[in-house]
Structure 1
Amino acid sequence: MPPAVPGPFLRRRRLGIELRRLREQAGLTGDQVIEGIGWASASKLSRLENGRSRPDPDDVDALLTLYGVAAGLRAELTGIAHEAGDMRGWLRNFPVMTQQQRAFAELEAGCAEISEYNPVLVPGLLQTPGYARHRIRSAARVAEGAGDPESENPEAEVGARQARQSLLVHVPRYTAVLEEAALDRRAGPPDVLRDQLVHLCELADMPNVELRLLLRDTRVGDWYVPPTAFSLYRFADPLDPETLAIESGFTDVMSTEVNTLNRYKVVFEWLCKSALSASDTLSWLTEATGRPTGTAVESTAAYGPATAPTQRRRDSGRLTSER
């Protein structure tokens, strides 16, 4: 099982923030740093400060010398620089990992809190292998139709997603708002959807996991409609930057920009207030598997997700309209 340690992506972001702070504290411009160290390109410093490149420990050491950094902080940042560049060592913690899954795995590692919303799908950390397989294979068909070669083997992608899910037990707090549409018959065959529902019931019983269901006719805030899927990541060390990941179907965008993060935090708060409570969500999921609440799962479903109960009353005081 992968350890609960930050991945190289987060280490690069943390190092970049510290290097920029130290440069500004030293009263140096980027051009002065480039001239002082003798680097040929100004973009090298920019990539380091923005966490976009794998740091060379010698380059980091040269910067720390120029900035006159004290021994204690120097040792800490040198250690972070080594962690930021040790992608191969970090990946040894996983049985399988693909390029497509790697960025999310790096973000999820070492998290203190993850908050996720997806308007049409079950988030990747919650997907069963069957549900994930349909998502990955259907996306591959789109790439083929566009004339693009398939970048990864679908089964390797399924395995990578399962490897990411082993991190879920390490996250102190995980919250997801699920749309009812993510569990209807458009998402997969009945047996796949039933397995997914059962799995969600099991996850909802974990002490660190909170699932909330947003029913189809639920109003969010002042008729707000979230435009895309997104995830928010907060880390145990307050100096590690909170990160936003936006999923837009075929392209993922990641940001640590505070104003952007704060907007998505507001949206997530609205979604949580509008969705069913965690206990009502578990009741809905339990009924949707075709079994009474609190009893063992039967081998066959009494009804599929499309006929699952949707008339349950929400907690009073929510920003929703009653069905």
Structure 2
Amino acid sequence: MPSSASPVIRRARLGAELRRLRHRDALTLKQVCGRLGWASTSKLSRIELGQSRPDLADVLDLLDVYQVPPGQREALIVIARDAATARGWWKALGEMGERQRDYAELESGAATIVEYQPAVVPGLLQTPAYARLRVAAGAALCSEVDVEADVRARAVRQEVVRRPDPPAYTALLAERACDPGGTPPDVWREQLRHLVALADRPHVTIRLLPGDAAPEGSVHPLAPFSYYAFPDPADPRTVMVETLTTDLRLVAEDDVARYEHLIDRLLAAALPAAESAALLARRAEQPVVPRPRAPVGGGPPGDGES
């Protein structure tokens, strides 16, 4: 996976800039579309909301309408090109469903990634065998999932932590995430050894939260989440909150700041990285006693599912 600006973030930023320019000129969606000969306002609305990959020609026309000066114009054209990245970029990501694509876009351009998982191993750290169990369990609730295609796509996503310029990646795992549950012993042992090997990489940090760990104020996350910061400080820091059926993307400054504060509390309560790696290594060599519960249950692939 090549290092590049995150398309989904660039679309959001481009849309916000174009909306600001329209408001500056006191123009309505209908007025702008009328000047451009666009049949419907929905096209411009989707561009401003970051919901579609903009055509560069359309962006150039909008910049003409708003009479954007040369310096600002060139900067927005760069953002628009990143936002419009499509076929070649998706081919590099392999086969994946819509939910995986959202995470893949964020990961591709991130400088910092922090993931919290209360019960499972995050998608970027999963072995193929463990991932297959996770996806198969999700497919039980979402029959249209192609398990093998999803596992292949997940493996491509994981290249982000192996590329020459990887993001700084931190996984905060609750102790339950290190519980084999009903996972076959050989699959679980392989997964733990994989975590230990990844933790040895200089840009990967794995921190475990003991069951009795109490973050400051006893504030515990209610759902898995992922946090992303980007090389360009003007690109909005983003949090993805995972639910059974969909994922909530947060970009509002106040929302993201709350999660940053929560991350600080979780890091303060977690075991040090070296101690976490040592604990994982010990558990990898201990006999695994499967439990009746299935640790791989879940919904359609999101991030923990991916």
TM tier relative to shorter chain: 0.7 to 0.9
Q: Counterpart amino acid of 1:212?
A: R
5 Å-filtered alignment, 1:1-323, equals 2-143=1-142, 150-169=143-162, 170-186=165-181, 188-290=183-285, 302-304=286-288
What secondary structure does 1:245 align onto?
A: strand
Instruction: Report the Cα offset of residue 127 of structure 1.
Output: 0.8
Q: 1:278 to 1:83 in 2, by over 3 A?
A: same
Instruction: Report the Cα offset of residue 32 of structure 1.
Output: 4.3
Distance 1:305 1:9 in 2: 43
- In structure 1, the residue matched to 2:299 is none
Instruction: Report the Cα offset of residue 254 of structure 1.
Output: 1.3
Instruction: Report the Cα offset of residue 228 of structure 1.
Output: 0.3
Q: Counterpart amino acid of 1:112?
A: A
More off after superposition, 94-103 vs 162-171: 94-103
Q: 1:305 to 1:5 in 2, by over 3 A?
A: farther
What secondary structure does 2:144 align onto?
A: coil
**CA contact 1:243–1:255 (8 Å) conserved in 2:** yes
Q: 1:92 to 1:142 in 2, by over 3 A?
A: closer
**CA contact 1:183–1:305 (8 Å) conserved in 2:** no
TM-score (norm 2): 0.87
Instruction: Report the Cα offset of residue 213 of structure 1.
Output: 0.1
Distance 2:276 2:7 in 1: 35
What secondary structure does 1:9 align onto?
A: helix
RMSD (Å) for aligned C-alpha atoms: 2.1
Distance 2:99 2:36 in 1: 36
Distance 1:78 1:125 in 2: 32
Q: Counterpart amino acid of 2:221?
A: P
Instruction: Report the Cα offset of residue 201 of structure 1.
Output: 0.6
Instruction: Report the Cα offset of residue 12 of structure 1.
Output: 1.0
Structure 1: give runs of 5+ residues left out of the alignment: 144-149, 291-301, 307-323
How many residue pairs get matched?
A: 288
The C-alpha deviation readout for 1:258-300, integer Å capped at 9, x for no partner, is: 111111111111111111111111111121122xxxxxxxxxx
**CA contact 1:7–1:90 (8 Å) conserved in 2:** no
Distance 1:7 1:87 in 2: 11
The C-alpha deviation readout for 1:201-246, integer Å capped at 9, x for no partner, is: 1111111111110111211222222110100111101121111111
Instruction: Report the Cα offset of residue 95 of structure 1.
Output: 4.4
**CA contact 1:91–1:97 (8 Å) conserved in 2:** no
Structure number with greater CO (CA < 8 Å, separation at least 6) is 2
Instruction: Report the Cα offset of residue 305 of structure 1.
Output: 8.2
Q: Counterpart amino acid of 2:80?
A: A
More off after superposition, 126-135 vs 3-12: 3-12
More off after superposition, 205-214 vs 177-186: 177-186
Instruction: Report the Cα offset of residue 30 of structure 1.
Output: 4.1
Distance 1:72 1:305 in 2: 64
Q: Counterpart amino acid of 1:167?
A: V
Which of the two has higher C-alpha Rg? 1
Q: Counterpart amino acid of 1:207?
A: P
Structure 2: give runs of 5+ residues left out of the alignment: 291-306
Distance 2:180 2:54 in 1: 47
Q: 1:19 to 1:95 in 2, by over 3 A?
A: same
Distance 1:64 1:88 in 2: 25
Distance 2:188 2:244 in 1: 21
Distance 1:94 1:123 in 2: 18
Instruction: Report the Cα offset of residue 29 of structure 1.
Output: 4.6
